[in-house]
Amino acid sequence: MDNGIRIAEQGGPYHRIGDGDAIASDDGRLIQLGYKQELSRGLSAIANFSVTFSIISVITGLTTLYGTGLTYGGPFTMVYGWPVVGVFTLIVGLSMAEICSAFPTSGGLYFWSAKLCGNDWGPFASWLTGWFNIVGQWAVTTSVDFSLAELIQVIILLSTGGKNGGGYEASKYVVIGIHGVILLLHAIINSLSISWLSFFGQLAAGWNIIGVFVLMILIPAVAKERASAKFVFTHFNTDNGDGINSKLYIFVLGLLMSQYTLTGYDASAHMTEETKSADKNGPRGIISSIGISIIVGWGYILGITFAVTNISYLLDENNDAGGYAIAEIFYQAFKSRYGNGVGGIICLGVVGVAIFFCGMSSVTSNSRMAYAFSRDGAMPFSPVWHKVNKQEVPINAVWLSAFVSFCMALTSLGSSVAFQAMVSIATIGLYIAYALPIFFRVTLARKSFVPGPFNLGRYGVLIGWIAVLWVATISVLFSLPVAYPITNETLNYTPVAVGCLFILTVSSWIFSARHWFRGPITNINT
């Protein structure tokens, strides 16, 4: 008996879509997965890659947490920790890419979890994965745009004379105001058509690549004092001032810089309903963005570290940049050679533009996830968030993402500890969302999983298990104390933040969502 579903094509006859049919078109494949085409499918493989590469943005992550790398291990941790984290991140990406090829929808991770778990556990798995994914994405946008606001504050400080020259130091209220303006600009840009987003995305990718190569060559070339190769490749900094002496412990804490940077590559999956040949180009976007970021990022680390000669001074809050390590490196490199740090400030502007593009692309990814999640009825006021405008852009989801990210940043006004705990979800919470569908693929769906055009063959299960174990490992490591003795100010609140998200998600399922949420639902008439 033929159990195929008959779908009427607009302006054409009915055709049958059965379980075994091969549907060449992207729209046809999307119909197989239960959705009609609502977004404009105008992204090429390069455009899909560009959005994700811009979100990973090695300039953003490495610039923001370079001071953390210097504190915990210094050059040794950064130079060798980056490729270690990079390899395991690529393994996670390979597993995600395989699943993405099988299920190319904007829902991404939560859709995968639902399909891989089946009817019994699918709705709960989808609910858990979806909320960890979307909250993690909002935390990423918050973190990225707030780091840009802080960088702008440092640029203003240096431009007005520096901390030791009477420069202007913006208050936390000014910083949050700058953060709000940045989010407003990102929401406006993301309200444009997909063709404009494609253009900005490719411009952002080019800016990130060129910017990295310019800075990694220019900064050490300009600096009058440069580190030796022995220092860059062998020096291990144990003077962290946090009461931690174990080199292994210090090395582990220093890995956060690398892992924080290498996140956000699920964006390629969330953009698949707008990507041509999505079951091939979505996976390519994930893998290529990670691979190129690893190479480019390592070059950036090496280049900048060759300009490091005095770690304790770079981390000192009383230096001209107020303890912002990379800003001080850039500023002093030019000041030592030319008598002023204008060139360094311009270089910081290059970094700032890259971070701006990163936040822009992050809002793009956030909005597509919110659009898909609300399309399946998982969010409060779902009918509002999954509406698309005449340009086929999920406009309400765009502005929701910007608004939530601004609200999350407001915690910085009350407590820096609370803000850091919330932002920690950007790394651990997001990686948990990455690991869940991979775990389901290697367990519940080990025999039933039907791969797409991109697949790992017989190595899929092995690579999947390595990915899951890596996420479990970093979830524990990055929850360890970062300073001793442990006080309210030094306690690592990451497990608290992630635990609260887990409790809220599970509780909402038990008391409410289990009665009405059924996982991904079709929006086509059959």
pTM: 0.88
Nearest to 101 by CA among 492, 456, 452: 452
**Encoded tokens for 58:** 């090695």
pLDDT of residue 290: 96
- pLDDT per residue over 236-273, tens digit each? 998 877 778 889 999 998 898 899 899 989 889 888 88
Alpha-carbon Rg for the chain, nearest whole angstrom, is 23
Position 33 confidence tier, pLDDT thresholds 50, 70, 90: confident
Cα 266 from Cα 270, distance rounded (Å): 7
Nearest to 385 by CA among 126, 134, 52: 134
Q: Count other C-beta atoms under 10 Å from residue 245's C-beta.
A: 10
Q: Count other C-beta atoms under 10 Å from residue 19's C-beta.
A: 9
- pLDDT per residue over 160-207, tens digit each? 998 888 889 999 999 999 999 999 999 999 998 888 888 888 898 899
The yes-or-no verdict on residue 48 having pLDDT over 70 is yes
The yes-or-no verdict on residue 363 having pLDDT over 70 is yes
The yes-or-no verdict on residue 78 having pLDDT over 90 is yes
Q: What's the rounded mean pLDDT across residues 345-351? A: 95
Residue 513 DSSP symbol: G
Q: What's the rounded mean pLDDT across residues 142-155? A: 94
Residue 15 DSSP symbol: E
* 8 Å CB contact between 129 and 519: no
Position 525 confidence tier, pLDDT thresholds 50, 70, 90: low
Residue 479 DSSP symbol: T
Rounded to an integer, what is the distance from CA 354 to the centroid of its chain?
14
- Specify the range with the lowest mean pLDDT, choosing from 16-25, 80-89, 215-224: 16-25
Q: If DSSP codes are grouped into helix, strand and coil, which group holds residue 107?
A: coil
Q: What's the rounded mean pLDDT across residues 59-82? A: 92
- pLDDT per residue over 453-508, tens digit each? 999 999 999 999 999 999 999 998 888 888 788 777 777 888 888 899 999 999 99
Q: Give me the DSSP letters along 16-47.
A: EE-TT----SHHHHHHHTT----S---B-HHH
The yes-or-no verdict on residue 365 having pLDDT over 60 is yes
**Encoded tokens for 392:** 């086929």
pLDDT of residue 14: 29
pLDDT of residue 23: 36
- Specify the range with the lowest mean pLDDT, choosing from 122-136, 237-251, 406-420: 406-420
**Encoded tokens for 197:** 């987003």
* 8 Å CB contact between 26 and 276: yes
pLDDT of residue 18: 39
